[in-house]
Amino acid sequence: MDSMNTAFVVLNLLTTLLMINGGYAADPDLVKDFIPPSGNFDVSFFTFTAFRKVLFGAPIANGSPFKVTKASELEFAALKGQSVSYATLQYAPRGINPAHIHPRSAELLLVLEGKLKVGFVDSSNKLFTKILKVGDVFLFPKGLVHFQFNKDSKNPAVAVSAFGSSNASTVSLPSTLFASGIDRDLLTKSFKTDEETIQELITANMG
Ligand SMILES: *[C@@H]1O[C@H](CO)[C@@H](O)[C@H](O)[C@H]1NC(C)=O
């Protein structure tokens, strides 16, 4: 096989893996009410308060375009086995959440402050995009590439997202493609560009 063919086969394999993960993965069901922590516990085990600071004032760090605060099973142990989680999303003026995938879950986003341009691309490469206002809800289907952009140059934006997995995980396209060590030659051919351009993308995304 020449290297063009190899690149093609590897890309096909990657796509198939992404489709298997993205299309059919789901959290397993529990056979008990919930998974208790070891030792004594009370109602505070079922309570998560770290969003208070997001919703009551704490702005995101200066110079940072975007901040996510998660309530997944890692931060909130009561979610283990319950197939739900939340994240709050804060966007600086002109801030973005770059193109990414949640392999195990759809995402239901609710805008709480500001305006957001959101979008996803389906598996036939069709783009669905919309500008959302406060109170609007948008669905990003499971496993599809999606993004959010606060196009306002003066005002921040805030949203909260619900997930149908206790650990939705994020596959970020820039770092998956350019900060994971994928063969440079393969990237150069895949993106039909030159090595310098790929090197620039790698350098910019390694950080
Ligand atoms: C969540 O998923 C990631 C992989 O996407 C995995 O590394 C991590 O261990 C999972 N967390 C838990 C608590 O299972």
DSSP 56-77: TT-PPPTT-SEEEEEESTTT-G
Same domain for 85 and 25, yes or no, is yes
- pLDDT (average), residues 58-62: 80
Q: Are residue 17 and residue 81 in the same domain, yes or no? A: yes
Q: What is the pLDDT of residue 17?
A: 52
Q: Is the pLDDT of residue 9 over 90?
A: no
What three-state secondary structure class fits 137?
strand
Looking at the structure of the chain, the number of domains it has is 2
- Tell how far the Cα of 163 is from the centroid of ligand 1, in angstroms: 15
- 97 and 131 fall within a common domain: yes
Strands (E) located in 92-197: 96-101, 107-113, 116-121, 127-132, 137-140, 145-149, 157-163, 171-172
Cβ of 73 below 6 Å from ligand 1: yes
Cα 169 to middle of ligand 1, angstroms: 7
Distance CA 98, CA 112 (A): 20
* pLDDT tens figures, 129-147: 999 999 999 999 999 999 9
pLDDT value, residue 25: 66
Claim to verify: residue 145 and residue 179 sit in the same structural domain: no
Q: Output the pLDDT for position 56.
A: 84
**pLDDT band at residue 60 under the 50/70/90 scheme:** confident
CATH number at residue 152: 2.60.120.10
Q: Please indicate, yes or no, whether residues 5 and 98 belong to a single structural domain of this protein.
A: yes
Q: Quote the pLDDT of residue 155.
A: 94
Q: Is pLDDT of 48 > 70?
A: yes
Tokens of 130: 């919309």
Mean pLDDT of the chain: 91
pTM of the model: 0.84
Specify whether 148 is located in the same domain as 124.
Answer: yes
pLDDT at 58: 76
Atom of ligand 1 nearest to the CA of 104: 5
**Which pLDDT band holds residue 22 (cuts at 50, 70, 90)?**
very low
pLDDT at 7 over 90: no
Give yes or no: residues 164 and 174 share one domain: no
**Residue 166 reports pLDDT greater than 50:** yes
Range of the domain at 61: 1-169
pLDDT digits (tens, 9 = 90+) for 75-110: 999 999 999 999 999 999 999 999 999 999 999 999
Which residue puts its alpha carbon closest to atom 3 of ligand 1? 169
CB-ligand 1 contact for 21 (6 Å cutoff): no
Q: Could you tell me if 176 and 165 lie in one domain?
A: no
3-state secondary structure of 115: coil
Averaged pLDDT, 51-69? 87
Helices (H), the chain: 3-24, 52-55, 173-178, 184-190, 195-206
Q: Look up residue 29 and give its DSSP letter.
A: P
